[in-house]
Amino acid sequence: FSDHLGTYERVSNNLETDKETILALEDTNQSLLSTRINEVMKVINNRCTVRVYENKPLSQNEINTIIHGAIRAPTAGNMMFYSILEVKDQKKKEKLVKTCDNQPHIAKAPLVLIFLADMQRWYDYYVVSSVPEICVKHKIAYRTPDESDLLLACCDALIAAQNAVITAESLGIGSCYIGDIIENIEIHREMFNLPKWVFPITMLCFGYPKQNLSKRILKPRFPKKFIHFTGSYQRFNAKDFVEMFHHYEKEIYVKNAENLGQDYYLRKTGSEFSQEMSRSVKIAIQDWIKKD
């Protein structure tokens, strides 16, 4: 079995801290564990977030390849309910540092892409195609985008974003998701001229890693049994959670936290940036479904 893991260099270097990966590999189809490990799985297995970039621009060919990878992602009904906005203006990048929870690497990233949930393009096309008129003529209700359309468009945009990540990784280009782009919706709408039925669901920073990725330790994931269910959803008890989080325990917690759960809540779920996300998304949804 160890021979089959030879190509997973960083995984094999961290067997003690990543036993779950080994167990997952044991369950994988035997063809994947052949002498020649699937190259795509190598990229997926070794991917990690990169926030420090070489002072080296990406070539236009590399950017085009990343965009192409995103565009080839699966999409609902082949309708592509998303758009990709490239941020080149350095002043806008620097502003995004502040509006996205003070993350300085945004300004230093050679490539910044915002993935937009986009129903506007289709509804503009429907107007050009006289869809409202044909609906009136045949007494068919003309519906405008609602919450379900927003969720569907977000799915399309996020799938495309992950395709971009894997494409970039295959080129040796690192990436970092910025979920904070959903904050400060009023500012971001003005910055990028976003119409009513367009929502910035995620942002990605790309660049060549300054640190040798082969020396980075992959962060742990929950054991498979806590993620993969068969037949119905499962909930867990206190003992289960001890096992689930055994890789996550740490010695120092944020102020006022007495355990890991409290630490995560105070730093993440109950934090100021999470509250701003909630405020911003509520406004975006209200505007999205509002009838003109």
What are 80-89's pLDDT values in tens digits?
Answer: 999 999 999 9
Contacts of residue 204, defined as CB under 8 A and 6 or more positions apart, other chains included, come to 112, 113, 115, 161, 164, 165, 175, 176, 177, 178
Query: Which residue, of 160, 194, 214, is where some domain finishes?
Result: 214
What's the 3-state SS for 96-112?
HHHHCCCCCHHHHCCEE
| 98 and 208 housed in the same domain | yes
Q: Please tell me the predicted confidence (pLDDT) of residue 20.
A: 56
| 198 and 101 housed in the same domain | yes
What is the domain range of residue 24? 1-46
Query: Which residue, of 159, 185, 214, is where some domain finishes?
Result: 214
292 found inside a domain: no
| 88 and 199 housed in the same domain | yes
Distance of CA 123 to the CA centre of its chain: 26
How many structural domains are present in the chain? 2
Q: How is the chain split among helix, strand and coil, in percent rounded to 5? A: 50, 10, 40
Place of tokens 């096309």: 125
pTM summary value: 0.86
Which one, of 73, 64, 88, 81, lies nearest residue 166 by Cα? 73
Tokens of 259: 């355990």
- Partners of 114 in beta bridges: 85, 203
| 31 and 94 housed in the same domain | no
What are 249-284's pLDDT values in tens digits?
Answer: 776 788 899 999 999 999 999 999 999 999 999 999
Q: Please tell me the predicted confidence (pLDDT) of residue 253.
A: 85
| 122 and 200 housed in the same domain | yes
12 found inside a domain: yes
| 140 and 90 housed in the same domain | yes
